[in-house]
Amino acid sequence: MLNISRGATIHPQKVTIYGPEGVGKTTLAAQFPDPLFIDTEGGTEGYDVARTQAPQSWTALKDLVRAVAAERPCGTLVLDTADWAERLLCAELCAKNKWASMEALNYGKCWQYALEEFGRLLDLLTDVRDAGMNVVVTAHATVSKFDQPDEAASYDRWTMKMYKKDAGLLKE
């Protein structure tokens, strides 16, 4: 038997906000209901907001997100910013695997490991949303050249200041 429903359903939101520094990403995120910031870069110091301790590693960041999902201490979890979180991820992967940099392996293999691990963080953020809290992720933006396949000329556009596949996963 089909169970059909109609109308809008209200549920917590997952939102990504990205833009250049100083444009107001953190200010906008602070307007969400009862925000709790995981401040990976120290950008909330001038704001009267609730914040966790700054994670010093990728593992610590994931542990914070798990704790928020379990304890539900807020109405909105804000990860400020994803690109600085990605720096924690790269540092941890390089240390764990004894890579000199994220370019240590051929064919972008280091970045493939990073993409898989970044996806795990996004799964944890979905757990937060499923526990009844909004999730806001901020990220810095940068101008990058874009070559559209069916156009003769390229042009500049704003993109997240992250590995492009991590950014794509976050935008999804």
Looking at residue 151, its pLDDT comes to 67
CATH architecture of structural domain 14-171: 3-Layer(aba) Sandwich (3.40)
- Determine the 3-state secondary structure of 141 from DSSP: strand
The ranges assigned to domains in the chain are: 14-171
pLDDT tens per residue, range 39-84: 998 889 999 999 999 999 999 999 999 999 999 999 999 999 899 9
Per cent of the chain over pLDDT 70 is: 95
Residue 7 DSSP symbol? S
What is the pLDDT of the chain when averaged over all its residues? 89
The angle, 0 to 180 degrees and rounded to 10, between the axes of the packed helices 164-171 and 82-97 is 130
Q: Is pLDDT larger for residue 165 or for residue 18? A: 18
